Structure 1
Amino acid sequence: MRVLVLGGDGYLGWPTALYLSQAGHDVAVADNFVRRQYDFELGADSLVPIESLQTRVEAWRQVTGKTIDMFIGDLCDADFTYQMIKDFAPDAVVHFAEQRAAPYSMIDRKHAVYTQVNNVVGTLNLLYAIKEINPDIHLVKLGTMGEYGTPNIDIEEGWLDLEYKGRTDRVLYPKRPGSFYHLSKVHDSHNMEFACRIWGLRATDLNQGVVYGQQTAETALDDRLATRFDYDAVFGTVLNRFVIQAVLGHPLTVYGSGGQTRGIIDIRDTVRCIELACENPAEPGEFRVFNQMTESMSVLQIAQTVAEAFPGAATIDHLDNPRVEKEEHYYKVTHTALVELGLEPHLLSDTLISSLFDIAKRYGDRANLDVMRPGVDWRGAGGGR
């Protein structure tokens, strides 16, 4: 299978490309490197140093003998997007190429507008390119569990069967996202469903939980193949931040009470889920949604798990929550489709956390303590130029 991975220089895009290549697929990656520019803007950086995409691709060839093609450009450039689809002629397109951080989208008006334009327009260009070049291409798009918000009913996999005044229908599950970033993902989902319904495209929307971990079997083959390890308050995932704080002897910073519950998933399961979605494509005209998570935990439970696994002393500090969200809420999610396709989940364990401690210790001198403190206030968003 020919698979094009958009956002292939990123935290998840790069290990996904390696995993698919190792599995025998013909893989190409595309990126505009804007994620690296965010680091310069925010004064943050990956804890684990990462090589340029060109160096990574060459290292992969040296280590495995396998080649990965590269396309450098922006999905918001329609000409580039169309030409890339024509040149590589993929069977499946894996779409990671979006601004992915809720806090980044809430900095001010400028960042909110950028996030929505970048994400929504890029995906629209891609949908049109697929429609006009080869409608049989299967689009596998990374969504987010944050699209749903925290409803007081069970979260189904994308769709909801309902009865109202004696009539029944099947509708997209109601969404109440918590940031302009998550709203952009909701817009993407609706645009994709529309394209499948009207044009007969095939698409899989993967509503992913919070990803943790830094290594896959492929990235561990050579230091030059490493993917990002983000720990800052804007792009860093909460478990990664807790791990570094424990290693550096700082309190684990929990926002509010820590009762906010989230779906979580190991990075090794993320790449496997992508493979399962690609190898079992949606039907023409089908817009399907998989909830891509393996378990759910509250933020406080994650902090306690890290503190208990750490071999030294670790304390937990509760900070004022900069986000506007429920501190305690109902959270029950259906996530069976990927397991039925063959996913065998890695659940959060002391073994995994211990390996993250080792990574944090190895690169701890690169940590910038200032960027771990929350600096974006949801209530203050909306100003700025």
Structure 2
Amino acid sequence: MRVLVLGGDGYLGWPTALHLSDKGHEVAVLDNFARRQYDVELGAESLVPIEDLSTRTDAWHEVSGKRIARYEGDLLDAEFLFGAVRDFRPSAIVHFAEQRSAPYSMIDREHAVYTQHNNVVGNLNLLYAIAEIDPDIHLVKLGTMGEYGTPNIDIEEGWLEVEHNGRRDRMLYPKKPGSFYHLSKVHDSHNIEFACRIWDLRATDLNQGVVYGQQTPQTALDPRLATRFDYDAVFGTVLNRFVIQAVLGQPLTVYGKGGQTRGLIDIRDTVECIRLAVENPAGRGEFRVFNQMTESMSVREIAELVADRFPGPVQIENLDNPRVEQPEHYYNVKHTGLVGLGLKPHLLSDTLIESMFDIVGANKHRVNDERLRPTVRWRGAVETS
């Protein structure tokens, strides 16, 4: 199968491209390298050094004998995007190519507008490219569990059966996102569902939980194949931050009391979920939704697990929460679709934390301590009374 991975230079896009190539698919990656520019803007960089895309693809050819084609450009440039799709002729497109940080989207008006424009317009251009070039292309889109927010009812896989005044209907699950980034993903989901309904497209929307880990079987084959390890308070995930703080002998900084609960997934499961979605496509006219997570834990529980597994003393420090979110909440997510396709999950309690300690220990000299503390506050960009 021919698969075009958008955002193929990124944290998840790159290992996904390697995983699909390793499993026998013909793969191309497309990227505008915006994520690397965010590092320059924020004065932060990946804890683990990463190579440029041409070095990465050359290294993969050396290691595997397989080639990954490259397209360098922006989804906002519709002419470029249409040309890339026509040239590669994919049967599936995996879409990672969006600004993915909630804190980045909440810095100020400029960053909020950039996030919405980049994500929503780029996705719309992609939908038109598929509809006009080959409506049979299967779109596999990375959404986020953050689209749902934290409702006081069970979270279904994308759709909800509703009874109201004696009548029943099936509709998209109500969304209550917690940032302008998450809101952009909600807009994407609605636009994709609309395109499936009116243009008879096929799409799988993967509402992904927080991803942890830095290595997959393919990236571990050669240092030049490494993917990112983000730890800063803008792009870094909470688990990465906690592991680095433990290794450096710093307190683990929990926002609020740590009662916020999130869905989690190992990076190895992320790339496998993409493969399963690609190889088992949605039907024509179908907008299929999977909740791409394997377990859920509160921030406090994650901190306690890191402290328990680290071979040394660890303190936990509670900070004022810079975000606007419920401190404690109900959280019960249905996530059976990908397991039904064959996913065999890795669990955080069983794996990876120990290997993450080793990765951080080998690269701790690259940590910028100033980037570990939160600098973006949800109410900081506007005056409040």
Matched, 1:277 2:265: no
Look up the equivalent residue of 1:206 and give its one-letter code: L
**Any conservation in 2 of the 1:48–1:229 contact (CA below 8 Å)?**
yes
- Counterpart for residue 372 of structure 1: 372
- Counterpart for residue 123 of structure 1: 123
Mapped to 1, the partners of 2:314 and 2:215 lie a distance apart of 24
For residues 41-82 of structure 1, give each alpha carbon's deviation from its aligned partner in whole angstroms, at most 9, with x where no partner exists: 000000000000000000000111100000000000000110
Q: After the TM superposition, which residues 279-294 of structure 1 pair with which residues of structure 2 at under 5 Å, given as runs?
A: 279-294=279-294
- Counterpart for residue 234 of structure 1: 234
Give 1:194 shift: 0.1
Look up the equivalent residue of 1:203 and give its one-letter code: A
Give 1:282 shift: 0.3
**Any conservation in 2 of the 1:195–1:201 contact (CA below 8 Å)?**
yes
Look up the equivalent residue of 2:330 and give its one-letter code: Y
For residues 230-255 of structure 1, give each alpha carbon's deviation from its aligned partner in whole angstroms, at most 9, with x where no partner exists: 00000001001100000000000000
- Counterpart for residue 144 of structure 1: 144
- Counterpart for residue 184 of structure 2: 184
- Counterpart for residue 40 of structure 1: 40
Mapped to 1, the partners of 2:162 and 2:64 lie a distance apart of 51
Give 1:349 shift: 2.6
For residues 210-230 of structure 1, give each alpha carbon's deviation from its aligned partner in whole angstroms, at most 9, with x where no partner exists: 000000000000000000000
Q: After the TM superposition, which residues 343-382 of structure 1 pair with which residues of structure 2 at under 5 Å, given as runs?
A: 343-349=343-349, 351-382=351-382
Question: Matched residue pairs, number?
Answer: 383
Mapped to 2, the partners of 1:345 and 1:7 lie a distance apart of 24
Distance 1:276 1:165, change over 3 A: same
- Counterpart for residue 160 of structure 2: 160
Matched, 1:222 2:242: no
Aligned to 1:327, the other structure's residue is in SS state coil
Matched, 1:263 2:260: no
- Counterpart for residue 253 of structure 1: 253
Give 1:278 shift: 0.2
Give 1:286 shift: 0.3
Distance 1:351 1:340, change over 3 A: closer
**Any conservation in 2 of the 1:106–1:382 contact (CA below 8 Å)?**
no
Percent of aligned pairs sharing the same letter: 76
Aligned Cα root-mean-square deviation (Å)? 0.7
Mapped to 2, the partners of 1:76 and 1:368 lie a distance apart of 33
- Counterpart for residue 106 of structure 1: 106
- Counterpart for residue 10 of structure 1: 10
Mapped to 2, the partners of 1:344 and 1:311 lie a distance apart of 29
Give 1:350 shift: 5.2
TM-score by length of 1: 0.99
Runs of 4+ in 1 over 2 A off after TM superposition: none
Mapped to 2, the partners of 1:31 and 1:285 lie a distance apart of 28
Give 1:352 shift: 1.2
Mapped to 2, the partners of 1:294 and 1:214 lie a distance apart of 17
Mapped to 2, the partners of 1:97 and 1:209 lie a distance apart of 17
Mapped to 1, the partners of 2:381 and 2:224 lie a distance apart of 38
Look up the equivalent residue of 1:171 and give its one-letter code: M
Segment drifting more, 78-87 vs 341-350: 341-350
TM-score by length of 2: 0.99
Aligned to 1:380, the other structure's residue is in SS state coil
Give 1:351 shift: 3.9
**Any conservation in 2 of the 1:309–1:350 contact (CA below 8 Å)?**
no
Aligned to 2:352, the other structure's residue is in SS state helix
**Any conservation in 2 of the 1:161–1:169 contact (CA below 8 Å)?**
yes
- Counterpart for residue 67 of structure 2: 67
Aligned to 2:54, the other structure's residue is in SS state helix
Mapped to 2, the partners of 1:279 and 1:353 lie a distance apart of 30
Mapped to 2, the partners of 1:257 and 1:272 lie a distance apart of 34
Mapped to 1, the partners of 2:240 and 2:380 lie a distance apart of 26
Mapped to 2, the partners of 1:171 and 1:382 lie a distance apart of 34
Distance 1:161 1:355, change over 3 A: same
Unpaired segments ≥5 residues, structure 1 = none
Mapped to 1, the partners of 2:50 and 2:160 lie a distance apart of 42
Unpaired segments ≥5 residues, structure 2 = none
Aligned to 1:379, the other structure's residue is in SS state coil
Q: After the TM superposition, which residues 72-87 of structure 1 pair with which residues of structure 2 at under 5 Å, given as runs?
A: 72-87=72-87
